[in-house]
C-alpha cells in the first residue's frame, strides 16, 4: 500500500531521489490522486495518478516551481472527477488540443487570400504539370500593367489576366455571386480565355477544399459550380477551319514564297500537327538527327517525342542557327513572334479564308483520315489521347512505329500538294511538279 503524507512546502523541499534510483515519490493525503515526483537531477514535478478501467493513469501537472500546492491539488481533484466518471483525462486533453488546432486553422483559413492559396497551389502542383500548363496558370493570374507592344488591346501595357480579379479577395469571399459577376464581365471581353480560366479556377478550388489549410474557408462549396456562370460564358463554338486536300497545292505554293523561317514553321505545323506554341518554342537541342526524333514540350504531359520526318528534317536543316530556338525571331535569344501574320499573308495569296494556326494542327488530323491511319497514332503525335470509341486500347507506340505512319502522312500531303521531294536534295531546296 502506498504511504501518504500531507504535502507541505517543507516536505516537498526535503524530497530527494536516493542514489541509484530513477525517481522518488510523495503522495498527498488531502488530494489522494496528487503526488510529487523527484528525478535524479533534482527536478520535482506534480503529477496525477489514478486508475481507470483497471489500468493506471498518470498525468504530469507541472513543475513545483510553477504550480502552487493548492493549484496542484485543485487540478488533481478535477482530474479525479473525470476518472471517477469513466472519462480518460488524456483523451480530454487530446480533444481540447485538436479543437484548438482546428480553431487556429480556421482562423488562418479565414484570413487567407486567394493569392496566398494560389501560390501554394502552384508550388505543390508544378512538378505534376507541363511547362505550358504551368505558364497558363501564371498568365491567367498575372497583374498586368507592364509595358508591351502587343496583346494590350491598344493600351501599350499588358492586361491583367482573367483570374487576377480574385487574387486580393479573402478565400472565404470567393462566392458563386462573385464568380457570376466576373463571368458576365469576361464573357463580353474574352470568352475563350475566360472559359479556360474557369476550368483552372474550378480545379484550384477543388484543391483548396481538399487541403487542411484552406478547407475551413470553403464551407464544402465550389463557387464555380453555378449554372449562371456556365450560361454567361457559354460553350465554345466548334471550330472547323482546316485545309482541304484540294487546297494543299496553292497553300504550299504561297507558303514557300514566305521568308524561310516562317515558311518552315507553317509547313512544320501542318506536317506534325503540334500546337502552335509547341513548335514555335522548339529548340535545336530538341532535334535528334541520329534517331530521327523531335522532342516536343507538351503543355499536358510535359514532353513527348515524335518522328523527325524526312521533309521536315530537310526544312529544318536549311535554317540558320541564330540562338537556341529553331524558329528564331528578330530579337536575339527569342523565338519568332506573331507567326499568324505570315499565315494570313499566305492564305490571302492562295485564296483560302478563315484558316488559323490551330487550324493547321486540325488539318493534320483530318488529312490523316484519307490514309486511314490508326487514331491512336495521330493522337500520340499530336499530344492528346483518343477517345475510347476512337481506339479501344490506347497504347504508346515506339518512335520507329510512329515514324512508319508519320512518313506516310507526310509523303501523301506532299504528293497532294505537288511537291516532289528527295532526301538527297540540298537543304531548303525542293522541286514542285507542275500540274499536280
What pLDDT is stored for residue 316 in this prediction? 96
What pLDDT is stored for residue 433 in this prediction? 43
Distance between CA 436 and CA 416 in Å, rounded? 7
State pLDDT tens for residues 275-327.
Answer: 999 999 999 999 999 999 999 987 666 789 999 999 999 999 999 999 999 99
What pLDDT is stored for residue 239 in this prediction? 65
DSSP 21: -
Name the nearest CA neighbour of 195 among 169, 165, 160, 231. Answer: 231
What pLDDT is stored for residue 80 in this prediction? 93
Handedness of CA 197, 199, 203, 209 (dihedral sign): positive
State pLDDT tens for residues 406-421.
Answer: 999 999 999 999 998 8
Distance between CA 267 and CA 271 in Å, rounded? 6
Show the low-confidence residues of the chain (pLDDT under 70): 1-2, 105-110, 148-156, 236-239, 299-301, 385-394, 423-436
Pairing of strands 24-28, 4-5: parallel
Q: Say if residues 360 and 262 touch (Cβ distance below 8 Å).
A: no
Distance between CA 63 and CA 217 in Å, rounded? 40
Pairing of strands 287-288, 293-296: antiparallel
pTM: 0.56
In angstroms, the first-to-last Cα distance of the chain is 111
Q: Where are the alpha helices (DSSP H) in 57-158?
A: 69-84, 89-111, 114-125, 131-141
Show Cβ contacts of residue 160 under 8 Å, excluding neighbours closer than 6 positions. 142, 143, 144, 145
What pLDDT is stored for residue 49 in this prediction? 93
Q: How many CB atoms lie within 10 A of CB 32?
A: 15
Amino acid at each position: 500500500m502506498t504511504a501518504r503524507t500531507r504535502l507541505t512546502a517543507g516536505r516537498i523541499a526535503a524530497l530527494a531521489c536516493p542514489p541509484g534510483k530513477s525517481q522518488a515519490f510523495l503522495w498527498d493525503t488531502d488530494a489522494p490522486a496528487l503526488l510529487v515526483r523527484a528525478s535524479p537531477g533534482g527536478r520535482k514535478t506534480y503529477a496525477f495518478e489514478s486508475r481507470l478501467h483497471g489500468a493506471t493513469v498518470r498525468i504530469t501537472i507541472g513543475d513545483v516551481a510553477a504550480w502552487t500546492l493548492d493549484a496542484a491539488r485543485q487540478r488533481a481533484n478535477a482530474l479525479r472527477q473525470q476518472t471517477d466518471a469513466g472519462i480518460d483525462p488524456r483523451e480530454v486533453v487530446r480533444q481540447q488540443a485538436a479543437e484548438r488546432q482546428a480553431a487556429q486553422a480556421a482562423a488562418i483559413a479565414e484570413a487567407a487570400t486567394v493569392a496566398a492559396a494560389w501560390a501554394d497551389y502552384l508550388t505543390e502542383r508544378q512538378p505534376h504539370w507541363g511547362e505550358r500548363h504551368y505558364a497558363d496558370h501564371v498568365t491567367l493570374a498575372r497583374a498586368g500593367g507592364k509595358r508591351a507592344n502587343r496583346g494590350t488591346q491598344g493600351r501599350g501595357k499588358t492586361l491583367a489576366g482573367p483570374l487576377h480579379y480574385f487574387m486580393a479577395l479573402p478565400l472565404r469571399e470567393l462566392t458563386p455571386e462573385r464568380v457570376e459577376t466576373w463571368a458576365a464581365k469576361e464573357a463580353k471581353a474574352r470568352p475563350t480565355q475566360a472559359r479556360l480560366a474557369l476550368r483552372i479556377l474550378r480545379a484550384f478550388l477543388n484543391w483548396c477544399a481538399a487541403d487542411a489549410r484552406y478547407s475551413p474557408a470553403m464551407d464544402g462549396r465550389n463557387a464555380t459550380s453555378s449554372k449562371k456562370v456556365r450560361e454567361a460564358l457559354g460553350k465554345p463554338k466548334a471550330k472547323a477551319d482546316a485545309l482541304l486536300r484540294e487546297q494543299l497545292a496553292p497553300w504550299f505554293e504561297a507558303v514557300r514564297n514566305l521568308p524561310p523561317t516562317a515558311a518552315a514553321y507553317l509547313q512544320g505545323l501542318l506536317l506534325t500537327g503540334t500546337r502552335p506554341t509547341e513548335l514555335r518554342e522548339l529548340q535545336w537541342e530538341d532535334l535528334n538527327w541520329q534517331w530521327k526524333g523531335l522532342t516536343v514540350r507538351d503543355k499536358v504531359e510535359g514532353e513527348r517525342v515524335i518522328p523527325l520526318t524526312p521533309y521536315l528534317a530537310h526544312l529544318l536543316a536549311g535554317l540558320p542557327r541564330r540562338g537556341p530556338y529553331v524558329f528564331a525571331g528578330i530579337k536575339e535569344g527569342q523565338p519568332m513572334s506573331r507567326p499568324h501574320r505570315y499565315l494570313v499573308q499566305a492564305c490571302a495569296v492562295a485564296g483560302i479564308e478563315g484558316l488559323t494556326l490551330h487550324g493547321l494542327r486540325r488539318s493534320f488530323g483530318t488529312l490523316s483520315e484519307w490514309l486511314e491511319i490508326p487514331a491512336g497514332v495521330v493522337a500520340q503525335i499530336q499530344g492528346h489521347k483518343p477517345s475510347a470509341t476512337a481506339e479501344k486500347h490506347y497504347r504508346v507506340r515506339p518512335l520507329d512505329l510512329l515514324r512508319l505512319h508519320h512518313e506516310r502522312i507526310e509523303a501523301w500531303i506532299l504528293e497532294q500538294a505537288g511537291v516532289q521531294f528527295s532526301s538527297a536534295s540540298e537543304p531548303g531546296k525542293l522541286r514542285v511538279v507542275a500540274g499536280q
